[in-house]
Amino acid sequence: MILFVLGPQRSGTSAITRVLSLCGGTLPAGMLGADTNNPLGYWEPRAAITLNESILRSHASNWYDPSLRLLEGDAFRADEKAAHIAKIGAYLATLPAAPLVVIKEPRITALSDLWFEAARLGGFDVATVIAVRQPQEVVKSIAASWHVSPALASAIWLKYNLLAERQTRGVLRVFVEYANLLDDWRREVKRISVTLPDELSPEEEQAVEDFLRPDLRRQRHAGPVADLFGANWMSAVYETFRAAAQDEPVDGATLDGVFESYRACERDFRQAFQDFHGLSNSMLFRAFPPVVAGPVMEVLAMAHRRRGTWA
């Protein structure tokens, strides 16, 4: 079985993955090492990062793309999709032989249909853990790490959470809130175990205790969710996810409503901005700057003797 850890980056996915690996899960080889943004390690395979980046960039996208273009029917040609699945399958064939392999790479959330299909074709069962974290904490963390605006960071949080939930319907899954993991990791590991064939259990509990240091959660926010985009999308999603992380039923109707609203607005504004940039870069606007357009209009006015509508 492959247990995918999904959700936006900076949501506690690294901590969840490492705890799972200390409780019986097996990690792929070739991890992305620690740095100043993640001093205890990312626990995600470098090969998966490269593979996902290649797929996203081949479709003019990236992990920080707030659009839902890749969900559109014509985003992947049939041969492209098959090729991507084959490449993912080739990577999955290199995984260690173990009852439970844990894979975390945030970009997988945007490409989960490809990864799930490749896993099933490779003979793997699929299960998922969806990381949940207060949006302002994630937004602050993304903004600090990548020096982007809160607006883009918020859109990333919203998109990846919506996709993580939507693409795992019908798949074994459990929602785990980062704060709950830090508060009582044994409880959360037990919750995850319920969805798996075999129970998770740490060889040494002290190793988990040592890893989950008090300073691991560097961004904290105790106030209400700060909604952006003129809607209550973020607060609605977070409240739904928080409830799911307490084993309450997932409010699919609320999430569907947010998803459809986000998709409609994103698609329409994307088209509007594409047209704006297209016009701004058109030959007409480049050939006729104001210094040229002004005299041309005066010549036309003279040609019409400045009469009628040209008066």
pLDDT digits (tens, 9 = 90+) for 60-104: 999 999 999 999 988 999 999 999 999 999 999 999 999 999 999
* DSSP string for residues in 230-252: TSSHHHHHHHHHHHHTTTPPP-H
Q: In degrees, to the nearest 5, what angle opens at C-alpha 213 toward C-alphas 212 and 217?
A: 90
Average pLDDT, the chain: 93
DSSP 8-state symbol, 26: B
Assess if residue 38 is contained within a domain: yes
Q: Is the pLDDT of residue 246 over 90?
A: yes
Token pair recorded at residue 56: 């996203």
Q: Token match 């039923």: residue?
A: 249
Examine the pLDDT at 223 and tell me if it is beyond 80: no
| Predicted local confidence at residue 284, as pLDDT | 81
Q: Which of 32-36, 126-130, 170-174 has the lowest mean pLDDT?
A: 32-36
**Looking at 143-157, 186-200, 203-217, 223-237, which range is the least confident one?**
203-217
Whether the per-residue pLDDT at 222 is higher than 70: the answer is: no
Q: Among 14, 54, 46, which Cα is nearest to 212's?
A: 14
Q: Is the pLDDT of residue 308 over 70?
A: yes
> Which range among 31-35, 283-287, 292-296 shows the weakest confidence by mean pLDDT?
283-287
Whether pLDDT at 56 is above 90: yes
CA distance 66 to 44: 22
Residue 287 confidence (pLDDT) above 90: no
Q: Classify the phi-psi angles of 123: left when phi > 0, otherwise alpha if psi is within -120 to 50, otherwise beta.
A: left
Q: How many domains does the chain have?
A: 1
Q: Is the pLDDT score of 214 beyond 90? A: no
Q: Is residue 148 part of a domain?
A: yes
Rounded Cα distance, 139 and 10, in Å:
8
Asked if the structure places residue 90 within a domain, the reply is: yes
Give the Cα separation of 232 and 175 in Å (integer): 21
In this structure, the chain runs to a length of 311
- pLDDT, mean of residues 278-301: 88
Which pLDDT score is estimated for 216?
63
Per the structure, the complete domain to which residue 18 belongs is given by 2-277
Give the residue, 144 or 222, on which the prediction is more confident. 144
Question: Does the pLDDT value for residue 215 go beyond 80?
Answer: no
Q: Could you tell me the CATH number of the domain that includes residue 230?
A: 3.40.50
pLDDT over 90 percentage in the chain: 77
User: Where does the pLDDT of residue 220 fall: very low under 50, low under 70, confident under 90, or very high at 90 and above?
Assistant: low
Distance (Å, rounded) from C-alpha 253 to C-alpha 248? 14
Would residue 294 count as lying in a domain?
Answer: no
Q: pTM for the whole thing?
A: 0.90
Structural domain includes residue 25: yes
Contact 88, 32 (CB under 8 A): no
Residue 301 lies in a domain: no
What is the reported pLDDT for 12? 93
The verdict on residue 299 lying in a domain is no
- Pick 4 or 36 by higher pLDDT: 4
- For residue 218, name the pLDDT band (cuts at 50, 70, 90): low
Q: What is the pLDDT of residues 21-42, one digit of tens each?
A: 999 999 999 999 888 888 888 9
